[in-house]
Amino acid sequence: MPASAVLSATGIVKTFPGARALDGVDFELRRGEVHALLGENGAGKSTLIKCLTGAYRRDGGRVELDGAPIDPRDPLDAQKLGIGTVYQEVNLLPNLSVAENLYLGRQPRRFGFVAPREMNRRARALLSAYEMDIDVTAALSSYSVAVQQVIAIARAVDLSGKVLILDEPTASLDAQEVRMLFRIVRDLQARGLGIVFITHFFEQVYAISNRITVLRNGRLVGTRETESLPRKDLVTMMLGHELHAAEQAGETKAESSGPVRYAFHGLGKAGRVKPFDLEIRQGEVVGMAGLLGSGRTETAELLFGVETADSGTAECEGRRLSLSSPRAAIAQGFGFCPEDRKVDGIIGDLSVRENIALALQARRGWMRPLSRKEQDALADRYIKALDIRTTDREKPIRLLSGGNQQKAILARWLATNPDFLILDEPTRGIDVGAHAEIIRLIESLCAQGMSLLVISSELDELVAYSSRVIVLRDREHVAELVGGDVSTENIVEAIAGQERRRAS
Amino acid sequence: LFGSAHAADMTVGFSQIGSESGWRAAETTLTKQQAEKRGIDLKFADAQQKQENQIKAVRSFIAQGVDAILIAPVVATGWDEVLTEAKDAKIPVILLDRTVDAPKDLYMTAVTSDLVHEGNVAGKWLVDTVAGKPCNVVELQGTTGSSPAIDRKKGFEQALKGHDNLKIVRSQTGDFTRTKGKEVMESFLKAEGGGKNICALYAHNDDMAVGAIQAIKEAGLKPGKDILVVSIDAVPDIFQAMAAGEANATVELTPNMAGPAFDALAAYKKDGTMPPKWIQTESKLYTQKDDPKAVYEQKKGLGY
Amino acid sequence: MNAKTLPLIATLVIFIAAFAICTLQYPTMLSTRVIGNLLTDNAFLGIAAVGMTFVILSGGIDLSIGSVIAFTSVFLAVMLEGTSIHPLLAFVLALAITTAFGALMGAIIHFLEMPPFIVTLAGMFLARGMAFVLSIDSIPIRHPFYATLKSAYWVMPGGGRLTLIGGAMLLVFLAGIIIAQRTRFGTNVYALGGGAHTAALMGVPVGRTTIGIYALSGFVAGLSGIAYSLYTSAGYSLATVGVELDAIAAVVIGGTLLTGGAGFVGGTLIGVLIQGLIQTYITFDGTLSSWWTKILIGGLLFAFILLQKGILSLSSGRRRLTMKGA
Amino acid sequence: MSGAKALGRRLLPQCVALAAILILIWFNFPGFFAIEMQNGRLYGSLIDVMNRGAPVALLAVGMTLVIATRGIDLSVGAVMAICGAVAAASSVRGDPLAVTLVMSLGIGLLCGLWNGVLVAILNIQPIVATLVLMVAGRGIAQLITEGAILTFNDPGLIFIGSGSLFGLPMPVVLWLVFGIAVALIIRRTALGLLIEATGVNRRAATLSGIQAPAFLIMAYVLSGLCAALAGLIVTADIRGADANNAGLWLELDAILAVVVGGNSLLGGRFSIIASLIGAMIIQAVNTGILLSGFPPEFNLIIKAAIIVLILLIQSPRLSHLAAFVRPAGPAAPAQGKSVAGGASAGDARDIKKLERTAS
Ligand SMILES: Nc1ncnc2c1ncn2[C@@H]1O[C@H](COP(=O)(O)OP(=O)(O)OP(=O)(O)O)[C@@H](O)[C@H]1O
Ligand SMILES: Nc1ncnc2c1ncn2[C@@H]1O[C@H](COP(=O)(O)OP(=O)(O)OP(=O)(O)O)[C@@H](O)[C@H]1O
Ligand SMILES: [Mg+2]
Ligand SMILES: [Mg+2]
């Protein structure tokens, strides 16, 4: 029914040098619907919305808004047309204040000059709808990724007169924030906006969307009503085949019987993480759960020497370890896959091959270069093993889709063959197929004797592979669930604690 | 804090252009020596080749209430205002080395050589030396836009006027430096048939000439014979070249400008004698005949 | 208190402390005369540094300003001595040229995606080259209007003068502060400095802003050229060599990050004054040789940067502690 | 092999630009390519270009590495002056040549170390950090020479400036050997990769276990060493240390050479060979201007115009446009009724936008 279509695209083509990212894709968004856009990593979802909003110029095809053809030349054009967008990586300006980010380009003015007080007032009002009471004059960079994500959403929602596009908005949000986001989305939906929603979380797809469009390798697979599309069929649509054995939750859970390999006593840093004790056994997966800002990333950074602890000791099989820098930690066989891949992970201009070889090369030192052949072999092995979608291994990594970048960084650490690997949100932005892939990988890694510490906001996932789960609240390790106690309910309970208080 | 050993009865501010050449360094050294000899407390300010810094320095001298100010102006224009301020503060100003484009009542006197005249002397020497034979001259200019470059070019061209046997075939800037003098000379030699078409080189200062001499030698020619070399300044190194027969003539620009200036100042302080508005220093021509070796020995300790 | 204003405050504290130390050594330094000189003598640098601040805030750099100042002064001198047009008209013409010149560089930077460093380096060669072509001689400006403008000063108590150009510099700074803090253009400049790609995705008109920034810098350099020509009553094609580096140093000492996105126009004023102070101190001392002057300027520059870093890291340490308490 | 082919493709624009400039000069000055043997050394304008370009070429080697780390070194000109002065002073004092060389190069290393420490350890922004030495360095050099030109007669030292080896002037031999050696070392070890990683994303590089400060310092130290060599050459060339003018503004030429060589000022990917060609392009322009016989007032305008032209030719934007005119490869916009005519140009632009801002 074209009458109710607010945004429709037909035959969208987008070619990058060496790769056709979109090949004649049709897409229709109706008024008052939540339309999920799904597909594997690198299927072309982000590229499609960038073409719709003018961030990329499309090579072919037609876009109509309310029946009239449009051709936004840049995101500003799209904004003016009433299309608000949250792009995949948080795309806000770290140096500007929260309020300035929210009102960039449309600051309230008095006598022709920006009125900061009015702007800040409005910003506070806007954010209060998201239950966020923060200092809007502080620089955006002083907030965590999650807070930034909420701000980005708030901005896009405020901008969207007709269409709201959300590219993986929930990747760094926890359950509570997701619920809040959904409440807002339903609100907008009721007001007749069309909403495009990209995610890799199936629960969320089924919780909120009305229709689903699936892309695969830059081609349209089809559009279905959500109700009439069982999960299994959806997976098949996305992957092009059925997903085997992926759902089998961790019955293979490693028995935490191996000897204690690493022991941390009273490790902590004033203002960051309260001192904590932690023991890691050989071949076990320790999960770490907590709300946003509860200090999980900080704990990981302490362990890896990114931040130096001001109290406590670290031991490996009785030996004292010095964790003064990442390099020192790596020398002890540590590895760390950071949460913010754009800032802490990828070396954007370097090729996929170089990114994968980097940590191994750094450990070997500059005098003992990996030969080109070794690097090629390494890259090829992991591109295959982790199914990294790239035209070739020499492509600059920044041109890869988000999920594929994540896999490449994982590959970087696997290549060093670490004894102890810390993964901070390893499955963020990764599609179902790869997700299953990575979980299987984690399991096989610890079967080979590697120890893992996995931080994740996906409790189900944690439950699936962790033999123990540490729960953090307010920068403090508050609980440790072992063996049979590891369950979603128990974790939620521990996180909530007695007073069900959120991070201030 | 720094009480001078001499009972300094006078404080004089000296705004120097900078230290862009050996000649300039010698001028600074001599000025300091002269001041010390007379028991004058000299406040020295180096302007790093910038007029604005010179103006700033003069203003601070006025603010400090010095007894007199010496300026070696980097450029002729733009001094009216600050000189007026000095005049209002009743501080006599003496210009060294170059004059300025300002009303004459704004400064007491100027101790300078005549830049145009220097070029003229060099030109005359060349005219006399070639004595009517046809001669292609190449010219190494000073820094484009600087007043010595403009005036020395003008004076030299004046001297050549009417002598059609002399022709300036190439003229490029060598920025007053040895390196550029050498580089530009190399290109002159290439451009003029390996140097066969060049009969004389005129350089706006000795440093460029010294560089050019090396270039000529490396091209397999004999400077001083195959190509005549005349330049200006009379720094020690050119006398060494002259002693070796590699340079022919130089026109002296004395670095001792402060001596006459201090003398004039002393006379004025004593009984109010006003010196003449222009104390011209001599532009002496040195040639092979003047025993360059001896001149070198005598000049070498002066901080060039 | 805002974390963003910290560098600014650090710089101010350092300036006041430095001035106090100088005054202790040379009591005459604390006079309105010295303060008036500080403003007048650094007026052209200060004015140009305002434009440089915007450029650097946006993550760019403008190496052409010294040459543009020289060009403007030569242009004015040639116009005023060679034709009979009124200085005000000449000012307008000069500003139009320099603004267009800046805009052109901005357009090249944006549309041809060339690095600002190189584009403005070429601009630097070009502007000075054009000045040479206009005249290699220095030309005095004797127009009576100049005399009128120069006699317009306010004698402060104590005999110091607040001259027209000194006042003009303060006005330009005021305007710069307002543009940076209170206009959408200003925020867009900061946005570009935070990341051009992100800014584009957020709907900042990158092209328009980039061209605007360099046009502004050109305009301000033109203004600075006018101030310089008033200052010296002359046009000289070799003037103000290397002023761009002084301006960059002033901007950085003023607490602006060269990577863009953080800093204040007001800080630049203090940066300029600090540089002026160093110069004044050296002349008051008057015992330094040419080389020691250079070494001392470099050393003091280093000391200021180090001090600033020290103050910043100290106070950020304290901030972290207070966060823990909260 | 593919590596060599990739290198060839990378260097193509620079080679084309160099050839174009040389041919342009040749039109103006027919004797330009003439080379003859004279006093056992090659002699001709082309040799002059290589000889006079030596300082900038050497500086460009170090500058390339510094720029690859996303830094910049403004102090190289001043370091040249210092090292030249040290060499001259030591030679005048009568030290043996080896001592002179070691002292001069050692001081260059120290200067680089100073810059490196400021940038890597004290985290001072590179432009300002090196500005300090740029300002003070010339003063230090003059302190050594006391403002005068310090002349010397040590034939060994002079040989470095105007001697010749295998018929080539010594400076040419030096920059060729040194430049190629550094390029080889960088590419045969992992240095290149690690430096590039540090330049693109220092934080991520540190998290991967790279000692970013060490590599930063190394880059500046190498730059100091290059400046010392360049300083030796210019000093030896005129048989005297001219503290005030040696290397004056040469830092800008060196940066220009790096950029003309197609390296990004934003750090990351670099090619030393390309920078060397860039240096030759710049020197060819300079020599061409000198040979042209134009009055010196026009020097700067000509130089500016040619630089803009070269960069325009290299501009990725224009080359993408060119690719559009002559469509080739798999990316050719074939089927589909293209909406916007210049779609492919826009496409190039998107990518460039991303490239420019990826940080
Ligand atoms: N600028 C670019 N240049 C070249 N190729 C690109 C560019 N941007 C994206 N691609 C390629 O286009 C394909 C689609 O990428 P896109 O970002 O749209 O994937 P996605 O569906 O959003 O994946 P994810 O779920 O991982 O975010 C990928 O193969 C990617 O490598
Ligand atoms: N809701 C919030 N309001 C204000 N500040 C917050 C909030 N959430 C997090 N922060 C800040 O973000 C910073 C980073 O927290 P951190 O990344 O350690 O949390 P985390 O447990 O790793 O959570 P996640 O990885 O899910 O973001 C903390 O310093 C905290 O002050
Ligand atoms: Mg995506
Ligand atoms: Mg985290």
**How much distance in Å is there from the Cα of A410 to the middle of ligand 4?**
17
**pLDDT, tens only, B250-294:** 999 999 999 999 999 999 988 888 999 999 998 999 999 999 999
DSSP conformation class of D249: T
3-state secondary structure of C161: strand
The residue that leads in pLDDT, B160 or C319, is B160
Shortest distance between the Cα of B9 and any Cα of chain D, in A, equals 29
3-state secondary structure of A491: helix
Contact call for D and B: 3+ CB–CB distances under 8 Å: yes
Residue A121 lies inside a defined structural domain of this protein: no
* CATH for D236: 1.10.3470
User: How far is residue D87's CA from residue A78's CA, in Å, rounded to a whole number?
Assistant: 64
**pLDDT, tens only, D109-146:** 999 999 999 999 998 889 889 999 999 999 999 999 98
Domain identity same for A174 and A217: yes
Q: What are the DSSP calls for A228-259, one per residue?
A: T--HHHHHHHHHSSPPPSSS--STT---TTSP
Domain boundary among A241, A265, A299: A241
Residue A205 lies inside a defined structural domain of this protein: yes
Determine the average pLDDT of the residues in C127-153. Answer: 90
What does the pLDDT read at residue C226? 96
Residue D207 pLDDT > 50: yes
Residue D111 lies inside a defined structural domain of this protein: yes
What does the pLDDT read at residue D323? 52
Bridge partners, residue D151, by sequence: D240
Residues of chain C neighbouring B145 (CB-CB closer than 8 A): 132, 136-138, 236-238
Domain boundary among A387, A415, A443: A415
Shortest distance between the Cα of D204 and any Cα of chain A, in A, equals 4
Domain identity same for A36 and A147: yes
**How much distance in Å is there from the Cα of C188 to the middle of ligand 2?**
28
User: How far is residue C273's CA from residue C289's CA, in Å, rounded to a whole number?
Assistant: 23
Any A CB within 8 A of C261 CB: yes
Residues of chain D neighbouring C296 (CB-CB closer than 8 A): 139
Instruction: To the nearest 10°, report the CA torsion of A27, A30, A33, A35.
Output: 0
The pair of three-digit structure tokens given for residue C243, joined into one six-digit string? 């002023």
Interchain contact, C112 vs D298, CB within 8 Å: no
User: How far is residue C180's CA from residue C189's CA, in Å, rounded to a whole number?
Assistant: 8
User: How far is residue C199's CA from residue A14's CA, in Å, rounded to a whole number?
Assistant: 23
**pLDDT, tens only, C255-299:** 888 888 889 999 999 999 998 998 888 888 888 888 888 898 899
The pair of three-digit structure tokens given for residue D266, joined into one six-digit string? 């934003």
Token pair 């003069």 in the structure block, residue: B58
For chain A, what is the domain count? 3
Residue A114 lies inside a defined structural domain of this protein: no
Cβ neighbours of residue A452 under 8 Å, at least 6 residues apart? A284, A285, A286, A420, A421, A422, A423, A442, A445, A446
Bridge-based pairing of strands C139-140 and C234-235 is: antiparallel
3-state secondary structure of D81: helix
**How much distance in Å is there from the Cα of D210 to the middle of ligand 2?**
27
* CATH for A463: 3.40.50.300
The pair of three-digit structure tokens given for residue C166, joined into one six-digit string? 């000194």
Which ligand 2 atom is the nearest neighbour of the CA of A339? 25
CB of B55 closer than 8 Å to CB of B17: no
Domain identity same for A250 and A232: no
- Chains with at least 3 CB pairs less than 8 angstroms from chain A: C, D
Pocket of ligand 2 (CB under 6 A): A 134, 143-147, 290, 292-298, 339, 457, 503
Chain C residues 218-237 with a CB less than 8 Å from chain B: 228, 231-237
Nearest ligand by distance to the CA of A25: 1
Domain identity same for D83 and D200: yes
Domain identity same for A473 and A327: yes
Determine the average pLDDT of the residues in D183-196. Answer: 93
User: How far is residue A381's CA from residue A84's CA, in Å, rounded to a whole number?
Assistant: 40
Amino acid at A207: A
Nearest to A216 by CA among A193, A237, A230: A237
Which ligand 1 atom is the nearest neighbour of the CA of A215? 21
Phi, psi of D250, deg, nearest 5: -70, -25
Residues of chain A neighbouring C262 (CB-CB closer than 8 A): 95
What does the pLDDT read at residue D211? 92
CB of D136 closer than 8 Å to CB of C299: yes
For chain D, what is the domain count? 2
CA triple D179-D184-D189, angle to 5 deg: 135
What does the pLDDT read at residue A257? 61
Shortest distance between the Cα of D251 and any Cα of chain A, in A, equals 26
Determine the average pLDDT of the residues in B197-213. Answer: 95
Interchain contact, D208 vs A412, CB within 8 Å: yes
Shortest distance between the Cα of A101 and any Cα of chain D, in A, equals 18
Amino acid at A355: N
Picking from B61, B79, B145, the nearest residue to C237 by CB comes out as B145
Any C CB within 8 A of A426 CB: no
Domain identity same for A213 and A256: no
Domain identity same for A46 and A148: yes
| Radius of gyration from C-alpha coordinates of chain A | 23
What does the pLDDT read at residue A253? 53
Nearest ligand by distance to the CA of A400: 1
Domain identity same for D197 and D114: yes
Question: HEC string of chain B?
Answer: CCCCCCCCCEEEEEEECCCCCHHHHHHHHHHHHHHHHCCEEEEEEECCCCHHHHHHHHHHHHHHCCCEEEECCCCCCCCHHHHHHHHHCCCCEEEEECCCCCCHHHCCEEEECCHHHHHHHHHHHHHHHHCCCCEEEEEEECCCCCHHHHHHHHHHHHHHCCCCCEEEEEEEECCCCHHHHHHHHHHHHHHCHHHCCCCEEEECCHHHHHHHHHHHHHCCCCECCCEEEEEEECCHHHHHHHHCCCCCEEEECCCCCHHHHHHHHHHHHHHCCCCCCEEECCCCEEEHHHCHHHHHHHHHHHCC
Domain identity same for D329 and D180: no
Domain identity same for A284 and A317: yes
Any C CB within 8 A of B240 CB: no
**To the nearest whole percent, how much of chain B has pLDDT over 90?**
68
Token pair 């092009």 in the structure block, residue: A240
Any C CB within 8 A of B17 CB: no
Residue nearest to atom 12 of ligand 1 (CA): A21
Domain boundary among D278, D298, D314: D314
What does the pLDDT read at residue A503? 39
**pLDDT, tens only, D304-338:** 998 888 888 777 666 665 555 444 333 333 333 33
Domain identity same for A308 and A165: no
**To the nearest whole percent, how much of chain D has pLDDT over 70?**
87
Bridge-based pairing of strands D35-38 and D41-44 is: antiparallel
Any C CB within 8 A of B54 CB: no
- Check the CA dihedral A105-A111-A113-A118 and report its sign: negative
Q: Which among A172, A292, A306 is the best mutation to test ligand 2's pocket, defined by most ligand atoms within 8 Å of the CB?
A: A292
**How much distance in Å is there from the Cα of A496 to the middle of ligand 2?**
16
User: How far is residue C93's CA from residue C90's CA, in Å, rounded to a whole number?
Assistant: 5
Residue D350 lies inside a defined structural domain of this protein: yes
Any A CB within 8 A of C119 CB: no
Determine the average pLDDT of the residues in C107-126. Answer: 91
Any C CB within 8 A of B19 CB: yes
Nearest to C284 by CA among A129, D107, B56: B56
Any C CB within 8 A of D181 CB: no
Token pair 């001192």 in the structure block, residue: A275
**pLDDT, tens only, C145-155:** 998 998 888 88
Residue D331 lies inside a defined structural domain of this protein: yes
| Radius of gyration from C-alpha coordinates of chain B | 21
Average pLDDT, chain B: 90
Please work out whether the CB of residue A52 comes within 6 Å of at least one atom of ligand 1. no
Instruction: To the nearest 10°, report the CA torsion of C137, C140, C141, C143.
Output: -130
A432: enclosing H helix or E strand:
helix A432-447
Residue D3 lies inside a defined structural domain of this protein: no
Token pair 């005999």 in the structure block, residue: C159
Phi, psi of A428, deg, nearest 5: -60, 125
Domain boundary among A359, A381, A415: A415
Residues of chain D neighbouring C129 (CB-CB closer than 8 A): 297-304
Determine the average pLDDT of the residues in C100-104. Answer: 97
Residue stretches of chain A with pLDDT short of 70: 1-3, 90, 243-257, 498-504
What does the pLDDT read at residue D345? 34
Bridge partners, residue B137, by sequence: B168, B200
| Radius of gyration from C-alpha coordinates of chain D | 22
Domain identity same for D295 and D352: no
User: How far is residue D332's CA from residue D326's CA, in Å, rounded to a whole number?
Assistant: 9
Nearest ligand by distance to the CA of A49: 1
Domain identity same for A231 and A252: no
Interchain contact, D139 vs C298, CB within 8 Å: yes
Query: Which CA distances in Å does B27 have to A91, A195, B79, D223?
Result: 62, 80, 22, 35
Residue nearest to atom 16 of ligand 1 (CA): A44
**To the nearest whole percent, how much of chain B has pLDDT over 70?**
97
Nearest ligand by distance to the CA of A144: 2
Which ligand 1 atom is the nearest neighbour of the CA of A17? 4
Q: Where are the domains of chain C?
A: 6-325
User: How far is residue D203's CA from residue A336's CA, in Å, rounded to a whole number?
Assistant: 13
Residue C323 pLDDT > 80: no
Distance of CA A191 to the CA centre of its chain: 29
CB of A472 closer than 8 Å to CB of A453: no
Interchain contact, D136 vs C309, CB within 8 Å: no
Bridge-based pairing of strands B68-71 and B10-16 is: parallel
Cβ neighbours of residue D204 under 8 Å, at least 6 residues apart? A338, A343, A344, A345, A346, A347, D197
Distance of CA B62 to the CA centre of its chain: 27
Residue D348 pLDDT > 70: no
Buried b (16+ CB within 10 A) or exposed e, B113-151: bbbbbbbbbbbbbbbeebeeeebbbbbbbbbbbbbbbbb
Token pair 């030698």 in the structure block, residue: B217
Please work out whether the CB of residue A400 comes within 6 Å of at least one atom of ligand 1. yes
Residue A406 lies inside a defined structural domain of this protein: yes
Residue D2 lies inside a defined structural domain of this protein: no
User: How far is residue A340's CA from residue C77's CA, in Å, rounded to a whole number?
Assistant: 58
Q: What are the start-end ranges of the H helices in chain C? A: 6-25, 32-41, 43-57, 65-82, 87-111, 116-134, 144-150, 164-182, 184-194, 196-201, 206-232, 243-253, 265-285, 290-325
Any D CB within 8 A of C202 CB: no
User: How far is residue A226's CA from residue A199's CA, in Å, rounded to a whole number?
Assistant: 14
**How much distance in Å is there from the Cα of D354 to the middle of ligand 3?**
15
Phi, psi of A167, deg, nearest 5: -100, 105
**pLDDT, tens only, C165-202:** 999 999 999 999 999 999 999 999 999 999 888 998 88
The domain in which residue A386 lies consists of: 351-415
Residues of chain A neighbouring C178 (CB-CB closer than 8 A): 113
Residue C11 pLDDT > 90: no
Residue D340 pLDDT > 50: no
Domain identity same for A159 and A270: no
CB of D63 closer than 8 Å to CB of D254: yes
Residue D1 lies inside a defined structural domain of this protein: no
Please report the ipTM that was assigned to this predicted complex.
0.87
User: How far is residue C150's CA from residue A223's CA, in Å, rounded to a whole number?
Assistant: 76
Domain identity same for D326 and D302: no
Domain identity same for D333 and D293: no
Domain identity same for A64 and A195: yes
Domain identity same for D114 and D146: yes
Q: Which fold has domain C6-325?
A: ABC transporter involved in vitamin B12 uptake, BtuC (1.10.3470)
Domain identity same for D268 and D325: no
**How much distance in Å is there from the Cα of A429 to the middle of ligand 2?**
19
Distance of CA D132 to the CA centre of its chain: 21
Strands (E), A449-491: 451-455, 468-473, 476-482
D235: enclosing H helix or E strand:
helix D212-238
Domain identity same for A87 and A213: yes
CB of C192 closer than 8 Å to CB of C260: yes
Interchain contact, C3 vs A139, CB within 8 Å: yes
Q: How confident is the model at residue C121 (pLDDT cuts 50, 70, 90)?
A: very high
Which ligand 2 atom is the nearest neighbour of the CA of A174? 26
Residue of D nearest to B240 (CA): D151
Residues of chain A neighbouring D190 (CB-CB closer than 8 A): 361, 364-370
The domain in which residue D19 lies consists of: 8-314
What does the pLDDT read at residue D353? 38
**How much distance in Å is there from the Cα of A425 to the middle of ligand 4?**
7
User: How far is residue A155's CA from residue A479's CA, in Å, rounded to a whole number?
Assistant: 36
Domain identity same for D341 and D199: no
Cβ neighbours of residue B298 under 8 Å, at least 6 residues apart? none
Domain identity same for D264 and D331: no
The residue that leads in pLDDT, D220 or B85, is D220
CA triple B61-B63-B69, angle to 5 deg: 25
Picking from A55, A114, A271, the nearest residue to C182 by CB comes out as A114
Nearest ligand by distance to the CA of A288: 2
Determine the average pLDDT of the residues in D218-236. Answer: 96
What does the pLDDT read at residue D333? 34
Bridge-based pairing of strands D35-38 and A113-114 is: unpaired
